[in-house]
Amino acid sequence: MKTASERYAALVRLVESRTVTRATPALLLPAGPYFDLAGEEFGRNLLLTTTNNGVEYCLRPDFTLPIAQQYLEDGLTGAPSAYTYLGPIFRQYQSTPVEFEQAGLELLGQADADNALDQVLTFARWALAIYDITAPSVRLGGVGLFEAFLEAAQIPVAWRSRIRHRFGHPEALERLMERLANPEERVEAPAPDSRDTVIEIVTDAMLSGGLSLIGSRTPEEIADRYLEKQALESAPIPPETVALLQNYLSVAESTETAFERISEMCKQAGFDFDEPLYQVRNHAAALAALSPNADVIFDASFSPRLDYYTGIVFEMTGSDGEVLASGGEYDRMLERLGAGEPVKASGCALWVDRLEREAEQ
């Protein structure tokens, strides 16, 4: 059995392969991009400091975002690049500052996105093998597959973004599904003719009520929210479509069984969904070949909480249920960071301390 130092040395060799560039982002990074990309929920886990001119910085909470930023700043948009990393990250855990060590791989601008994801899965399995973890539990999810399902099932456009934004947030999605399954009886007042009309009505109401027009919610924001609600109310989802959506989200079983179940439910609903399923099937098969002892399931409701993920996502857990590795395809991150053209991206992060604990059990 290898010692802890031998395992770590093997991980370093994996990270410093000749085919990749080992990245070492600064320990202190601007906090703004993390709030913009990951939102307040992730932001609460940051360890923050503020400069004299009011700019917020944070101790490095991950490697993916600064690597993606550097890729764009170096003018590499569209160029195939491979980065690895190994080092500390810093977050709050139960209101206590904690330092973790992470390793990972990021593949940006690869011509063959499917092959890039398979390389990411292979990297994760190699890393686990260093720690003698040969039979992890693996959960696959499909963000792009879910978006394709919403379109194929003819979910009204007005509802798609609302449902998608709750994907990966089980409690919020469950509340929305409950609302869709049990619509309230209501009589709505006629909607005003235009956005400008609504803004004027809201402005008059705020001023007559003594409210400031400069605050957390402007008349424009209130008007847009009102019009969105009107659009949703005017586009109800048929009960059978709600039931189909709930049935899809309930799928969480072995990959082949899961894909067959999804395929069959879609055919019964009157549409063929086998082509969108094809890509996920292939990656699941590649993962099974790579790690035949792993327990692999497809969970249709699984998604990271970060909405820049776009395709297949995964997490690998150990015997105690802790996540050892996670990742997937995240094309939207580069776009939201200002890339002038679409950039394919996939990667994974591994929790080194957890890997070591699993190896010692």
83 has binding-site annotation: no
| Cα separation, 86 vs 67, whole angstroms | 12
| Residue 137 CB coordination number (10 Å) | 16
Paired residues of 85 in beta bridges:
104
248 has binding-site annotation: no
64 has binding-site annotation: yes
63 has binding-site annotation: yes
The pair of structure tokens assigned to 26 is 């600064």
Whether 65 and 37 have beta carbons less than 8 Å apart is answered as yes
Which DSSP letter does residue 322 get? Answer: -
| Cα separation, 275 vs 259, whole angstroms | 11
6 has binding-site annotation: no
204 has binding-site annotation: no
| Cα separation, 224 vs 33, whole angstroms | 25
| Residue 191 CB coordination number (10 Å) | 15
106 has binding-site annotation: yes
Of 31, 26, 67, whose CA–CA distance to 345 is shortest? 67
100 has binding-site annotation: no
Rounded to the nearest 10 degrees, what angle do helices 239-249 and 143-152 cross at? 160
Q: What's the order of all strands across the beta sheet hosting 295-299?
A: 21-22, 81-93, 96-108, 345-351, 323-329, 312-317, 137-142, 295-299, 252-254
CA angle at residue 303 from 298 to 306, to 5 degrees?
160
Of 85, 91, 76, 73, whose CA–CA distance to 31 is shortest? 91
Residue positions forming the annotated binding site: 62-64, 91, 102, 106, 308-309
Residue positions forming the annotated binding site for L-histidine: 62-64, 91, 102, 106, 308-309
